[in-house]
Structure 1
Amino acid sequence: MDFVTLNNGVRMPRIGLGVWRVPDDEAAAAAATAIEAGYRSVDTAKLYRNERGVGRAVRASGVPREELFVTTKLWNDEHGYDAALRAFDASMDRLGLDYLDLYLIHWPVPARDRYVETWRALERLCAEGRVRAVGVSNFTVETLDRLLGEAGIVPAVNQIELHPMLPQAELRGYHAEHGIVTEAWSPLGQGRGLLEEPVLAELAAKHGRSPAQVVLRWHLQLGGVVIPKSVTPSRIAENIDVFDFVLDPGDMAAIAVLDSGTRLGPDPATFNRAD
C-alpha cells in the first residue's frame, strides 16, 4: 500500500474500497474481503445505508484499529451546526467505532447555503479528537473558495467524480495549490463503456494488466486517492494490485485523449437533493 499525507499530518491509504449502492450485509462481506486482501481504507456514507456493515467488518477484521482508515459522510438534510453534530453521533453509533478517520460533507447543497456553518461543526469534531481529519465531497472551486475564506481549517480532502472522461484538471490544480488531497469517486467511470475503450485495451496488453488496473494506475500517477467499488473478491484483489508497474508519459498522454467532459453523476453546482 502507498499512502498520502494529509495537510494535518494524517496518513491516508492511496486506495480504498468504495461501497456505494451496496446493501449492508454485502458491504460487510466486501469490506472483510478487502481488508484480508490488504486494503486499509473503506469509504461509506450515511446515504449508502451500510455504515453498520462496514463497522462490523472493521471490528471483526483482527487488524488493529489504528491501521485502518474509515471514512463516512454527512448527508444533505443534515446541514447546519447542531444537525451536523447529531449526524456525526448517529453515524458513529451505526459504525460502532470510538473515532473516525475522515468525515466529509457529502455535497455543498448550494441552494441551502449552510455548508460553511456545517463545516464549523466538523472543525469542532476534529478539535475534540473525535475525527482525525475532515474534508468535503463534490465541492467546486467556487464553494471551496467560499469555505476557505471563512474556515479555520482547510479541508484535508475533496472527494469528487474523477475518471479519464472527466479528469477535472482545473479543480485538481486548485487542490494542489491549497494542500487539499484529490480523492476520486467512480474512478472507473462506473463501467459505462470506459473500460472498453481501445486505448485502454492496448495499454492493458502492453503492461500485462487489465484496463481497470491501467485506469487506477493513471489515478495514482495523477497524485490522488481512489476508492474503486466492487463486491467481487477477484476484482477487489485486482484493484489493489497496481503498485508494481508504471505508465510512461506516452501512456498518460494516450489516456488524456479520453477526456470528453462526461459527468456521470449530478452537477455539484446545481445538486440540492435533501431526501
Structure 2
Amino acid sequence: MMAGLTINSQQTMPSGYKIPVLGYGVYQTPADIASEVVEHALKVGYRHVDSAVAYRNEQPSAEGMKKSGIPREELFFTTKIPPKDMSYENSKQHIENTLKITGFDYVDLYLLHSPYGGKENRIGAWKALVEGVQAGKIRSIGVSNYGVHHLDELEAWIKETEAKEGKGKGGVLSVNQVELHPWLARPDIVDWCKQRGVLCEAYSPIVRATKNDDPLLKPLAKKYNKTPSQILLRWSIQMGFIPLPKSVTKSRIEENAQVYDFELIAEEMKSLDTGVYEPCAWDPTVSHD
C-alpha cells in the first residue's frame, strides 16, 4: 500500500480536494522568521503549511508561500479558529481577517482549533466555516482536538441539517487534527474517522523529540540508518495519517522530509503499538463542556 509514496503524495479528503500527505507545522514559530522557514520548507519539497490564528503567524507564513514562487494552486494552506473565539460571529470575522492578512483568495483547509466553548459555540463556529465554503472562501473544513463525543455531536448536527435543508448543507467534515504518535495512537478517534473517510492529521508526530533515546526506536533507527524522528514520521504516514512536523532548523526541516526511501515492515509497525495514552501536549479531546 505504501509503495511509491513520495513527498508529492496526496490523499483525497471527503470534500473532494487533495491534501499533501506531509505538512509543515508552524506552531510556536516566531512571526519574524516564519516567512523564511516556510519558504525553505517549500524549497525542499513540502507543499502544505499548517498555521492557525492563535499562532500569530498566518501573514508571514503566507508571505513565505508567495516568496517561494510556487503557483498558489500547488500549495496547501491550513489555519484554525482560535480556541477562545469559538462562536459564529467570531469565526466569520476570523475567516475574513485570514483572507485579508494573507492576501489569499481562499483557504485550503480551515479547522476549529479545539472543542472548547460549549455546544452552541462549537456548532456556531462550524456554521461559519460551512458558509465560508459556500461563499468560495474556504475549500475544505474540519476540526482539531475533537474527541469521539465531540465528533458524534457534530455528525448529529450535520445529519439533522441535511435532513431539513438538503445534502451538503451541514458541511463536509474532512479532517480531525489531533496529537498522534505511538504513545498516543487514539484508536477510538482514528477508527471513528476511518469509518467515515475523515482524514487524521498528526500534530506532535515526533513527540517533541522526547523519545530520541527510546528503546523501541533505537534499533529501527539503526537498521534503516534514519533518525528516531524519521522513524516516527514514517510510522505516521504508514498509519494513513498526515503528519505535521514542525522545526525552525533548516537541516531538521530537510531531514523530516526524507522519509520516503524506506518502509517499516508489519512486525515493526506492530512493535510500535504501545497501547499507552501519553499526551505530550494539551488534550482537549477529553473536555466535556
Q: Which moved more, 1:88-97 or 1:41-50?
A: 88-97
- 2:71 is the counterpart of 1:64: yes
- 2:199 is the counterpart of 1:170: no
Q: Give 3-state SS (helix, strand or coil) of 1:184's partner.
A: strand
Per the alignment, residue 265 of structure 1 pairs with: 281
- Asked whether the equivalents of residues 86 and 117 of structure 2 are also in contact (C-alpha less than 8 Å), the reply is no
Distance in 1, matches of 2:123 and 2:102, equals 26
Deviations 1:77-106 (Å, cap 9, x if unpaired)? 322222211111112222221111000000
- Asked whether the equivalents of residues 204 and 211 of structure 1 are also in contact (C-alpha less than 8 Å), the reply is yes
| Alignment map for 1:82-231 (pairs within 5 Å) | 82-111=89-118, 113-151=120-158, 152-192=170-210, 194-231=211-248
Q: So what's the TM-score if we normalise by structure 2?
A: 0.90
Deviations 1:120-163 (Å, cap 9, x if unpaired)? 11011111111110010001100110101112123100000111
- 2:51 is the counterpart of 1:44: yes
Q: Which moved more, 1:244-253 or 1:73-82?
A: 73-82
- Asked whether the equivalents of residues 70 and 100 of structure 1 are also in contact (C-alpha less than 8 Å), the reply is yes
User: What are structure 2's unaligned runs of at least 5 residues?
Assistant: 1-7, 159-169
- Asked whether the equivalents of residues 42 and 71 of structure 1 are also in contact (C-alpha less than 8 Å), the reply is yes
Letter in 2 for 1:266: W
Task: Measure how far apart 1:271 and its partner are.
Answer: 8.5
Deviations 1:193-228 (Å, cap 9, x if unpaired)? x12202211101111211111110000010010110
- 2:264 is the counterpart of 1:247: yes
Distance in 1, matches of 2:144 and 2:288, equals 12
Q: Give 3-state SS (helix, strand or coil) of 1:132's partner.
A: strand
- Asked whether the equivalents of residues 148 and 154 of structure 1 are also in contact (C-alpha less than 8 Å), the reply is no
User: What are structure 1's unaligned runs of at least 5 residues?
Assistant: none
Task: Measure how far apart 1:168 and its partner are.
Answer: 0.7
Q: Give 3-state SS (helix, strand or coil) of 1:199's partner.
A: coil
Distance in 2, matches of 1:35 and 1:15, equals 11
Q: Which 4+ residue blocks in structure 1 deviate beyond 3 angstroms?
A: 110-113
Distance in 2, matches of 1:80 and 1:210, equals 42
Q: How many residues align?
A: 270
Per the alignment, residue 23 of structure 1 pairs with: 30
Q: Give 3-state SS (helix, strand or coil) of 2:34's partner.
A: helix
Letter in 1 for 2:176: N
Letter in 1 for 2:19: M
- Asked whether the equivalents of residues 110 and 270 of structure 1 are also in contact (C-alpha less than 8 Å), the reply is no
- 2:44 is the counterpart of 1:7: no
- Asked whether the equivalents of residues 114 and 144 of structure 2 are also in contact (C-alpha less than 8 Å), the reply is yes
Task: Measure how far apart 1:111 and its partner are.
Answer: 3.8
Distance in 2, matches of 1:149 and 1:77, equals 24
Distance in 1, matches of 2:213 and 2:177, equals 25
- Asked whether the equivalents of residues 209 and 229 of structure 2 are also in contact (C-alpha less than 8 Å), the reply is no
Q: CA-atom RMSD, angstroms?
A: 1.4
